[in-house]
Amino acid sequence: MDTNSKSIGIVGARGHTGTELIRLIAAHPALTLSFVSSRELDGQRVDAHVPEYRGELRYSAPAHEDLPKLGADVVILALPNGKAAACVAAFDGAGVDPLILDLSADYRFDPAWYYGLPELMREQWRGQRRISNPGCYATAMQLSIAPLKDLLAAPPVCFGVSGYSGAGTTPSDKNDPDKLRDNLMPYALTGHMHEKEASFRLGVPVEFMPHVAPHFRGLTVTTNLYLSRPLKREDVLQRFHSAYDGEKLVRVTDEAPWVSRIAHRHHAEIGGFTLSADGKRVVIVATLDNLLKGAATQAMQNINRAIGVDEYTAIPL
């Protein structure tokens, strides 16, 4: 292990994203897992649940006020929405200042926190110790819209479908395989948190209609964009290639990407690029694994940059 290695703890690690984070950290040359909290798994060995991890660590269930005493250099908050503030307050109250990365929506609208969508916000990182990780759908929507943002004639309309891992581990209709079988389940058809997030971050209103499908992981977003002037397909492609060809975790494809091909992959794919006859409407398809580029992989990009190692360390490209 590198002598400059940092210790990292995860608060709320039982969920699907927590498992992916442990896998990434286990392969990281500069991070050592120091604690993994989960009330449900308290006392159980981490390697019994995540075999890629080869240490002796067990899940624990520290109280919020005890988190600062655990001494981690980096803390990931993998908690449901609305639960992060108590943990952040515990660190602030103790005068302890680890790098904190929050996976929930709680700080995505807070200007004091860096919003960690590297492909669009990399230049705005100024060494902040508090990082808000973007939502999975919000990542796909922003990547789809940003290269054409200056030409919009109307709010982008996004139709999204995700696997049921996006509904978390708490039982509900949206993660019940029996109810999802041969089904497509619409929900939150206006005002979804990721609609608000994408609108806020892009500075333009975005309309979003999410659905859950019977597959486990991966999401697809089809975005309809009305343009203020006609474009040719090669003009649209040029904008997207210009925006993302230097990015290792965004791939621009000619054909529309399929969600079945993105499961367990760490990058997003954007393609399709279908224009109306008058050139003033373009439809774009984006896919990503909601647990990886939509959550754990993006968190690792942000942590890597914040601890001063290459952005893609321990991320399989």
**Which residues have a catalytic role annotated?**
136
| 300, 282 contact by CB (below 8 A) | no
The residue type found at 143 is L
Q: How far is CA 241 from CA 55, 126, 131, in A?
A: 42, 27, 28
Would you give the DSSP letter of residue 257? Answer: P
Whole-number Å distance between alpha carbons of 211 and 111: 30
| 33, 58 contact by CB (below 8 A) | no
Q: Going by C-beta distance under 8 Å and a sequence separation of 6 or more, which residues neighbour residue 165?
A: 16, 175, 216, 217, 290, 291
CA 173 to chain centre: 23
Q: How far is CA 157 from CA 43, 88, 94, 150, 219, in A?
A: 46, 35, 45, 16, 16
CB atoms within 10 A of CB 260: 10
Q: Going by C-beta distance under 8 Å and a sequence separation of 6 or more, which residues neighbour residue 143?
A: 119, 120, 244, 250, 268, 270, 286
